[in-house]
Structure 1
Amino acid sequence: MSEVKDKVPADYSANNIQVLEGLEAVRKRPAMYIGDVGVKGLHHLVWEVVDNSIDEALGGYCDDIKVSVLEDNSIEVIDNGRGIPTDMHEKEKRSALEVVMTVLHAGGKFDKNTYKVSGGLHGVGVSCVNALSEMLHVTVYRDGKMFEQEYERGGPKYPVRVVGDSDRKGTTVRFLPDKQIFPITEYNYETIATRLRELSFLNPGIRITLTDLRDKDEQGEAKHEVFFSQGGLREFVEYIDSTREKLIAQPIYIESDKGEIPIQVAMSYNTSYTENLVSYVNNINTHEGGTHVAGFRRALTRTLKAYADKSGLLEKVKLDISGDDFREGLTSVISVKVAEPQFEGQTKTKLGNSDVMGAVDAAVGEVLQYYLEEHPREAKLIVNKVILAAQARHAARKAREMVQRKNVLSGTGLPGKLADCSSTDPSICELYLVEGDSAGGSAKQGRNRNFQAILPLRGKILNVEKAQEHRIYDNEEIKNMITALGVTFGTPEDEKGLNMNKLRYHKIIIMTDADVDGSHIRTLILTFFFRYMKDLIENGYVYIALPPLYLVKKGREERYCWTEEEREAIVKELAAGGKEDSVGVQRYKGLGEMNPEQLWSTTMDPSKRSLKQVSIESAAEADHLFSMLMGDEVAPRREFIEKNAKYARVDI
Structure 2
Amino acid sequence: MTEEQKKNNQGYSAGNIQVLEGLEAVRKRPSMYIGDTGIRGLHHLVYEVVDNSIDEALAGYCDVISVIMNVDNSITVKDNGRGIPIDFHEKEGRSALEVVMTVLHAGGKFDKDTYKVSGGLHGVGVSCVNALSEQLIATVYRDGKIWQQEYNIGKPQYPVKEVGETSETGTQVQFRPDTTIFEDNVYNYDTLASRMRELAFLNKGIRITLTDMRNFDDEGNPLSEEFYSEGGLFEFVQFLDASREPLIGSPIYMEGEKSGIPVEVALIYNTSFSENIHAYVNNINTHEGGTHLQGFRRGLTATLKKYAEDSGMLSKLKFDIAGDDFREGLTAVISVKVAEPQFEGQTKTKLGNREVNAPVSQAVSEMLTHYLEENPNDARTIVNKVILAAQARHAARKAREMVQRKNVLTGSGLPGKLSDCSDRNPENCEVYLVEGDSAGGTAKQGRDRNFQAILPLRGKILNVEKAMHHKIFDNEEIKNIYTALGVRVGTEEDSKALDTSKLRYHKVIIMCDADVDGSHIETLILTFFFRHMRELIEGGNIYIATPPLYLVKKGGAMKYAWNDKQRDQFVEELKGNGKESSVGIQRYKGLGEMNANQLWDTTMNPEFRTLRRVTIDNAVEADRIFSMLMGDDVPPRRAFIEKNAKYAKIDV
TM-score when normalising by structure 1 = 0.95
For residue 11 of structure 1, what is the aligned residue in structure 2? none
The alignment yields a C-alpha RMSD, in angstroms, of 1.4
Partner Cα distance (2:93, 2:28) in 1: 27
Q: How does 1:282-431 map to 2 (within 5 A)?
A: 282-345=282-345, 347-431=347-431
Partner Cα distance (2:284, 2:175) in 1: 23
Residues 258 and 360 of structure 2 are in contact (CA less than 8 Å); yes or no, is this contact kept in structure 1? no
In structure 2, the CA distance between the partners of 1:557 and 1:214, relative to structure 1 (3 Å rule), is farther
Look up the equivalent residue of 1:123 and give its one-letter code.
Answer: G
For residue 574 of structure 1, what is the aligned residue in structure 2? 574
Secondary structure of 2:113's match? Answer: coil
Partner Cα distance (1:333, 1:280) in 2: 8
Shift of 1:492: 5.2
For residue 145 of structure 1, what is the aligned residue in structure 2? 145
Look up the equivalent residue of 1:229 and give its one-letter code.
Answer: S
Partner Cα distance (1:598, 1:221) in 2: 47
Q: How does 1:547-626 map to 2 (within 5 A)?
A: 547-576=547-576, 578=578, 582-626=582-626
How many pairs are equivalent?
Answer: 632
Shift of 1:218: 4.6
Shift of 1:215: 2.2
Residues 68 and 76 of structure 1 are in contact (CA less than 8 Å); yes or no, is this contact kept in structure 2? yes
Look up the equivalent residue of 1:136 and give its one-letter code.
Answer: L
Partner Cα distance (1:269, 1:192) in 2: 29
Look up the equivalent residue of 1:412 and give its one-letter code.
Answer: S
Shift of 1:134: 1.1
Look up the equivalent residue of 1:191 and give its one-letter code.
Answer: T
Question: Which moved further from structure 2: 63-72 or 530-539?
Answer: 63-72
Secondary structure of 2:426's match? Answer: coil
Shift of 1:579: 5.8
Shift of 1:425: 1.2
For residue 226 of structure 2, what is the aligned residue in structure 1? 226
Secondary structure of 1:644's match? Answer: helix
Shift of 1:576: 4.1
For residue 26 of structure 1, what is the aligned residue in structure 2? 26
Shift of 1:40: 1.4
For residue 126 of structure 1, what is the aligned residue in structure 2? 126
Residues 284 and 348 of structure 2 are in contact (CA less than 8 Å); yes or no, is this contact kept in structure 1? no
Look up the equivalent residue of 1:158 and give its one-letter code.
Answer: Y
For residue 18 of structure 1, what is the aligned residue in structure 2? none
Partner Cα distance (1:242, 1:376) in 2: 24
Partner Cα distance (2:491, 2:398) in 1: 16
Secondary structure of 1:351's match? Answer: coil
Q: Deviations over 1:481-536 (max 9, x none)?
A: 11110111123542211011110111111010111100110011011111111100
Secondary structure of 1:495's match? Answer: coil
Look up the equivalent residue of 1:148 and give its one-letter code.
Answer: Q
Partner Cα distance (2:192, 2:632) in 1: 28
Residues 108 and 114 of structure 1 are in contact (CA less than 8 Å); yes or no, is this contact kept in structure 2? yes
For residue 12 of structure 1, what is the aligned residue in structure 2? none
1:439 is the counterpart of 2:432: no
For residue 187 of structure 1, what is the aligned residue in structure 2? 187
Look up the equivalent residue of 2:59 and give its one-letter code.
Answer: G
Secondary structure of 1:134's match? Answer: strand
Q: Any gaps of 5 or more consecutive residues in structure 1?
A: 1-20
Question: Which moved further from structure 2: 611-620 or 91-100?
Answer: 611-620
Partner Cα distance (1:388, 1:144) in 2: 64
Shift of 1:347: 4.0
For residue 542 of structure 1, what is the aligned residue in structure 2? 542
Residues 35 and 347 of structure 2 are in contact (CA less than 8 Å); yes or no, is this contact kept in structure 1? no
1:65 is the counterpart of 2:65: yes
Q: Any gaps of 5 or more consecutive residues in structure 2?
A: 1-20
For residue 532 of structure 2, what is the aligned residue in structure 1? 532
Q: How does 1:63-212 map to 2 (within 5 A)?
A: 63-212=63-212
Partner Cα distance (1:82, 1:39) in 2: 32
Residues 37 and 181 of structure 1 are in contact (CA less than 8 Å); yes or no, is this contact kept in structure 2? yes
Look up the equivalent residue of 2:556 and give its one-letter code.
Answer: R
Partner Cα distance (2:142, 2:347) in 1: 37
Look up the equivalent residue of 1:142 and give its one-letter code.
Answer: R
Q: Deviations over 1:190-209 (max 9, x none)?
A: 21111111111101111111
Secondary structure of 1:350's match? Answer: coil
Partner Cα distance (1:463, 1:579) in 2: 52
Shift of 1:636: 1.0
TM-score when normalising by structure 2 = 0.95
For residue 11 of structure 2, what is the aligned residue in structure 1? none
Question: Which moved further from structure 2: 215-224 or 36-45?
Answer: 215-224
1:214 is the counterpart of 2:222: no
Residues 323 and 494 of structure 2 are in contact (CA less than 8 Å); yes or no, is this contact kept in structure 1? no
Shift of 1:220: 3.2
Partner Cα distance (1:634, 1:183) in 2: 38
In structure 2, the CA distance between the partners of 1:161 and 1:322, relative to structure 1 (3 Å rule), is same
Partner Cα distance (2:569, 2:137) in 1: 37
Partner Cα distance (2:74, 2:448) in 1: 42
Shift of 1:86: 0.6
Partner Cα distance (1:466, 1:422) in 2: 37
Partner Cα distance (1:34, 1:40) in 2: 9
Residues 542 and 614 of structure 2 are in contact (CA less than 8 Å); yes or no, is this contact kept in structure 1? yes
For residue 245 of structure 2, what is the aligned residue in structure 1? 245
Question: Which moved further from structure 2: 626-635 or 546-555?
Answer: 546-555
Residues 341 and 353 of structure 2 are in contact (CA less than 8 Å); yes or no, is this contact kept in structure 1? yes
Secondary structure of 2:348's match? Answer: coil
In structure 2, the CA distance between the partners of 1:346 and 1:436, relative to structure 1 (3 Å rule), is farther
For residue 17 of structure 1, what is the aligned residue in structure 2? none
Shift of 1:403: 0.7
What is the percentage of aligned positions where both structures have the same residue?
Answer: 70
Partner Cα distance (2:158, 2:493) in 1: 57
Look up the equivalent residue of 1:234 and give its one-letter code.
Answer: F
Shift of 1:575: 3.0
For residue 6 of structure 1, what is the aligned residue in structure 2? none
Shift of 1:373: 0.4
In structure 2, the CA distance between the partners of 1:580 and 1:466, relative to structure 1 (3 Å rule), is farther
Shift of 1:383: 0.6
Shift of 1:219: 4.0
